[in-house]
Structure 1
Amino acid sequence: MDVGTRLKEVRKKSGLSQRELAKRAGVTNSTISMIEKNSVSPSVSSLKKVLGGIPLSLTEFFETEDTSQTATPVVYPAEEFLDSSVESVEFKLIGKDFHNRAMTFLVECLPPGAGTGAELYTHDGEEAGYVLSGKLELTVDEETYIVEAGQGYYFESSRPHRFHNPFDEECRLVSSTTPANF
């Protein structure tokens, strides 16, 4: 997906100027402009911050079709996962059509060097995850943890946090957040 074009589309649909969105999101006007021109590729935390000024969740941002009139499936084949990937971090949302979702459930892949950005970020709710393969560097409240395959994590998302893969192999995991803000 073309993140810049999509941001411009949702910003205009919301009746916001670049300046107003920047003010609401707490970023510079040039940040919005550079994202919309695809001059920069925002990190997950940066994109969430910008979308908070609309307000719009990551799921709503990446969802381009109207699913309000369709029946809610129970089983989701992999090809029906919503691709919410940002930069090189792959996020696949399971249950995108579930009406009034209370949680976000993701399959994630972080290649070597990838992560949610340099800045710690916060949001309402809780997060949990299980590493399927590779290792993940998780920072919560300025303390860094190495989560290896077969291990999991769980914390309140109001605590400053970030995810990063500084290792030589990709990290695959499943994760969930509440509320469904992704």
Structure 2
Amino acid sequence: MSERERSTPAQQPESGQPPAGDLARVLTAVGPRLRALRQERRVTLAALSEETGISVSTLSRLESGGRKPTLELLLPLARAYRVQLDELVDAPTTGDPRVHPRPFSRHGQTFIPLTRHLGGLHAYKQILPPGYGRGAEPRVHEGFEWCYVLSGTVGLRLGDRELTLGPGEVAEFDTRVPHAFSNPGPQPAEFLSLFGAQGERMHVRARPAERGGNGGPGETLRTRPS
């Protein structure tokens, strides 16, 4: 070993810095995660570009891996999707299991996210103000939803059926059936919602609510916990 080799310390990663291989894997995974999130939210590149100020070509290259993700790009995307920044980059867990939800409003109701992960089932606490949903047009989209009423009164319009759910009652339904929520009561209504964009389904023990339904596709099930 030469004198120079003996006097030169080996290069070591700075304390607290991830190995280069781990960093490369994290950055490589960002593009597919962004594409999956945008498709799950049913947002076009053009609409996302308008909201974030990032060009369509840059967004497309970012999702395909042709553009390196930077804070300048990820911060406006995190704001647009209303998620934590570490969800976009799949940051490793710090050992703290707590979720730090950031409430947001959409269509006049308040959502409090109860899950962090982008894929699979999503859990929310939803709050409907008094009188919410009067005359609302039912919506249709891919997925399956399960809801549990915490307080107040929740109206559920599903196809040609009208249901009124009280505290402790549960309903599950295919979101491809036209549906709309409302609050006919004088107080805010709160309920827990589990939603699977790809049709994931919660299985609960329930009895058919009306007319002897068998719980098949599109059938609303309604029950109180035993």
The TM-score bracket by the shorter chain reads 0.5 to 0.7
1:70 aligns with 2:96: no
Tell me: higher relative CO, structure 1 or 2? Use CA pairs within 8 A at least 6 residues apart: 1
Query: For the residues of structure 1 that align with 2:55 and 2:178, how far apart are their CA atoms?
Result: 29
| Aligned counterparts of 2:134 and 2:198: Cα–Cα separation in 1 | 18
Displacement after TM superposition at 1:119 (Å): 1.2
Contact 2:115 2:124 in 1 (8 A): no
1:69-108 deviations in whole A, cap 9, x for unaligned?
422477334xx11323225411011122x2x420110011
1:87-166 map, 5 Å: 87-96=107-116, 98=117, 100-115=118-133, 118-166=136-184
Residue-pair matches, total = 130
In the other structure, the counterpart of 1:10 is 51
Seen in structure 2, the aligned counterparts of structure 1 residues 74 and 176 have a Cα distance that, compared at 3 Å, is: farther
**Match for 2:101 among 81, 92, 102?**
81
Is contact 1:117-1:162 (8 Å) kept? no
The percentage of aligned residue pairs carrying the same residue is: 25
Aligned mate of 1:169, from 174, 187, 209: 187
CA contact (8 A) 1:133 1:171 kept: yes
Which secondary structure state, in structure 1, belongs to the residue aligned with residue 137 of structure 2? coil
TM-score in terms of structure 2 length: 0.49
Structure 1 unmatched runs, 5+? 1-5, 17-58
- Structure 2 unaligned regions, length at least 5: 1-46, 58-78, 200-226
In structure 2, do the counterparts of structure 1 residues 10 and 177 end up closer, same or farther at CA, with 3 Å as the change threshold? Answer: same
User: How far, CA to CA, are the matches of 1:74 and 1:122 in structure 2?
Assistant: 37
Identify if the C-alpha distance between structure 1 residues 139 and 86 changes in structure 2 by more than 3 Å, giving closer, same or farther.
Answer: same
Counterpart contact for 1:137–1:146, Cα < 8 Å: yes
Q: 1:70 to 1:161 in 2, by over 3 A?
A: same
- How big is the alpha-carbon RMSD for the aligned residues of Structure 1 and Structure 2? 3.2
The one-letter code sitting in structure 2 at the alignment partner of 1:63 is: V
Instruction: Report how far residue 10 of structure 1 moved.
Output: 2.8
- Quick one: structure 1 residues 135 and 66, their matched pair in 2 at CA, closer, same or farther if it must change by over 3 Å? same
TM-score calculated relative to the size of structure 1: 0.60
Matches within 5 A, 1:33-48: none
